[in-house]
């Protein structure tokens, strides 16, 4: 099995309860697909035949993880961007048959091949900045055939790009037009047909639901999550994005992997999140694009030590954002998070949000060798600058995905 020894590195290991877990003048050994040793330059292990990579004090971090995306879809919604700039709200556009439902029409019309081709440049943008794992949701098909089509595209993207992809079934993302006035019937279809079939095809790693005034109510949302759990699947939920319907507490009580968005989460409910292992996934891209002014309850989340992850929420409506580095900057600038919290949010805590923290998310012996080498000396540089990509090389599961400067 091939070995790679990274020398003269600065490591942001993310080990420890807070901060970067920084080690200067350090080295790290990869054996096969795993990290097998890390420590000081003064204590290098014996390695014979290992490739030596002199990092020249560059920063190494775990591969970045985008734990919430809607990257597979048809069409675009630039027209709605213009409407919002003229004063229409996201909820008004949705109520008039635009929003998610308009992407559903475009997605239903697109072939699997078209969806794959359209998703590629979006994913490549993420990969160029050191993403090694990402989550992709369905939710623009809203019938059995088209939800499965979306999940197949996600699976194919993983195979062809050699990426780790977690596929979330989001059949309960919006009410399709043909079920107008029959939301409970649609939820029954989701639970009894769509989800079981998608799972049967091996296409579901977790189940998500959108609990919101423009989507499904708390009871309908809980029904979907309960069905998922009956099938043995992990759950998560879009909650408290535009209003407080109590979705976060309900999902956390059920042991959800994550609750996502949270601008309207009542700070007093955060203690109930803290009683679970549920991760709070914040999506500053949607906050920014929708020009939201209400902040998620960051201080309360911090005080109660709820793990906070960050993601792009890449989608054609509320967050046409394809840069995790930009999201880190937004988390600091808009949400007043620290650069260390931002880095934890796209590594270790994002791994937790996907249920993968035993395997990825930090530089630690035994974990997968998903490693990004950055052309910077200090980790705060990753959050600080906008519009520069300092990614110098990427290793995924012990294989060079991009040797970059180490040709």
| Residues in touch with ligand NIG (CB under 6 A) | 70, 99-100, 103, 210, 238, 241, 286, 313, 315-319
Residue 210 interacts with, from ligand NIG, Fe ion, none (CB under 5-8 Å by kind): ligand NIG
Please, are residues 209 and 245 in contact by the beta-carbon 8 Å criterion? no
Residue 99 interacts with, from ligand NIG, Fe ion, none (CB under 5-8 Å by kind): ligand NIG
Given 263, 313, 341, 370, the residue binding Fe ion (CB under 5 A):
313
Q: In the structure encoding, which two tokens stand for residue 399, read together? A: 């294989």
* Site pattern 11..30 for Fe ion (x: CB under 5 A): --------------------
- The three-state secondary structure class of 238 is strand
Please, are residues 222 and 247 in contact by the beta-carbon 8 Å criterion? no
Nearest-angstrom CA–CA distance, 235 and 312: 19
CB of 158 to ligand NIG, least distance (A): 21
Based on CB atoms, which residue is closest to ligand NIG, 29 or 187? 187
Nearest-angstrom CA–CA distance, 277 and 47: 39
Q: Among candidates 160, 154, 124, 166, which has minimal Cα distance to 402? A: 124
CB of 136 to Fe ion, least distance (A): 11
- The three-state secondary structure class of 395 is strand
Residue 109: CB atoms within 10 A of its CB come to 11
Nearest-angstrom CA–CA distance, 374 and 382: 9
Nearest residue relative to ligand NIG (C-beta): 317
CB of 354 to Fe ion, least distance (A): 14
Q: Which of residues 342-371 bind Fe ion (CB under 5 A)?
A: none
Q: Given the rule CB under 5 A, which of 34-42, 96-104, 310-318, 386-394 is the region that contacts Fe ion?
A: 310-318
Residue 207 burial by Cβ neighbours in a 10 Å radius (0-12, 13-18, 19+): buried
Residue 286 interacts with, from ligand NIG, Fe ion, none (CB under 5-8 Å by kind): ligand NIG
Q: Among candidates 68, 119, 3, which has minimal Cα distance to 395? A: 3
CB of 167 to Fe ion, least distance (A): 14
CB of 261 to Fe ion, least distance (A): 7
Residue 59: CB atoms within 10 A of its CB come to 23
Based on CB atoms, which residue is closest to Fe ion, 176 or 285? 285
Nearest-angstrom CA–CA distance, 51 and 37: 15
Q: Given the rule CB under 5 A, which of 152-160, 300-308, 312-320, 391-399 is the region that contacts Fe ion?
A: 312-320
CB of 146 to ligand NIG, least distance (A): 15
The H-or-E segment that residue 356 falls in is none
Residue 287 interacts with, from ligand NIG, Fe ion, none (CB under 5-8 Å by kind): none
DSSP string covering 21-69: -EEEEEEEEEETTEEEEEEEGGGPPP-SSPEEEE-TT-EEEEPEEE---
Residue 336: CB atoms within 10 A of its CB come to 11
Q: Is 147 a residue that touches Fe ion (CB under 5 A)?
A: no
Please, are residues 314 and 327 in contact by the beta-carbon 8 Å criterion? no
Based on CB atoms, which residue is closest to Fe ion, 313 or 370? 313
Based on CB atoms, which residue is closest to Fe ion, 222 or 313? 313
CB of 318 to ligand NIG, least distance (A): 4
Nearest-angstrom CA–CA distance, 20 and 74: 38
Residue 164 interacts with, from ligand NIG, Fe ion, none (CB under 5-8 Å by kind): none
CB of 35 to ligand NIG, least distance (A): 33
Q: Given the rule CB under 5 A, which of 31-39, 167-175, 287-295, 311-319 is the region that contacts Fe ion?
A: 311-319
CB of 71 to ligand NIG, least distance (A): 11
Maximum Cα–Cα distance across the chain: 69
CB of 5 to ligand NIG, least distance (A): 41
The two beta strands, 64-66 and 59-62, are unpaired
Residue 379 interacts with, from Fe ion, ligand NIG, none (CB under 5-8 Å by kind): none
Based on CB atoms, which residue is closest to ligand NIG, 35 or 283? 283
Q: In the structure encoding, which two tokens stand for residue 212, read together? A: 């919101």
Based on CB atoms, which residue is closest to ligand NIG, 20 or 216? 216
Nearest-angstrom CA–CA distance, 7 and 224: 49
Task: Find the radius of gyration of the CA atoms of the chain.
Answer: 21
- Which residues contact Fe ion (rule: CB under 5 A)? 313
């Amino acid at each position: 099995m091939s070995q790679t020894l990274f020398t003269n590195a600065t490591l942001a290991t993310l080990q420890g309860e807070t901060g970067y877990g920084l080690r200067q003048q350090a080295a790290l050994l990869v054996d096969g697909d795993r990290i097998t040793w890390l420590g000081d330059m003064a204590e290098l292990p014996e390695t014979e035949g290992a490739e030596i990579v002199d990092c020249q004090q560059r920063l190494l971090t775990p591969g970045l993880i985008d734990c919430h995306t809607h990257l597979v879809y048809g069409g675009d919604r630039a027209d709605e961007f213009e409407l919002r700039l003229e004063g229409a709200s996201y909820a008004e556009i949705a109520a008039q048959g635009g929003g998610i439902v308009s992407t559903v029409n475009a997605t239903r019309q697109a072939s699997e091949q078209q969806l794959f081709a359209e998703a590629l440049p979006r994913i490549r943008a993420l990969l160029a900045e050191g993403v090694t794992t990402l989550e992709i949701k369905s939710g623009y098909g809203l019938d059995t055939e088209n939800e499965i089509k979306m999940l197949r595209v996600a699976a194919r993207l993983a195979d062809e790009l050699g990426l780790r992809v977690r596929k979330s079934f989001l059949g309960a993302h919006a009410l399709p037009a043909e079920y107008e006035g029959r939301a409970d019937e649609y939820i029954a279809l989701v639970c009894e047909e769509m989800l079981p079939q998608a799972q049967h095809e091996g296409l579901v790693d977790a189940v998500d639901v959108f609990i919101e005034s423009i989507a499904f109510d708390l009871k309908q949302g809980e029904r979907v999550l309960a069905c998922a759990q009956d099938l043995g699947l992990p759950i998560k939920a879009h909650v408290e994005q535009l209003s407080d319907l109590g979705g976060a507490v309900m999902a956390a009580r059920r042991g959800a992997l994550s609750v996502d968005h949270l601008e309207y989460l009542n700070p007093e409910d955060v203690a109930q999140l803290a009683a679970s292992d549920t991760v709070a996934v914040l999506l500053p891209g949607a906050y920014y694009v929708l020009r939201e002014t209400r902040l998620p309850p960051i201080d309360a989340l911090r005080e109660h030590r709820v793990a906070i992850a960050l993601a792009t929420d890449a989608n054609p409506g509320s967050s046409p954002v394809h840069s995790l580095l930009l999201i880190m900057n937004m988390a600091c600038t808009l949400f007043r998070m620290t650069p260390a919290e931002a880095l934890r949010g796209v590594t270790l805590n994002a791994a937790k949000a996907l249920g993968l923290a035993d395997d990825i998310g930090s530089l630690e012996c035994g974990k997968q060798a998903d490693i990004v080498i950055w052309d910077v000396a200090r980790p705060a540089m990753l959050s600080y600058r906008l519009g520069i990509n300092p990614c110098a090389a990427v290793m995924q599961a012990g294989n060079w995905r991009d040797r970059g400067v180490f040709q």
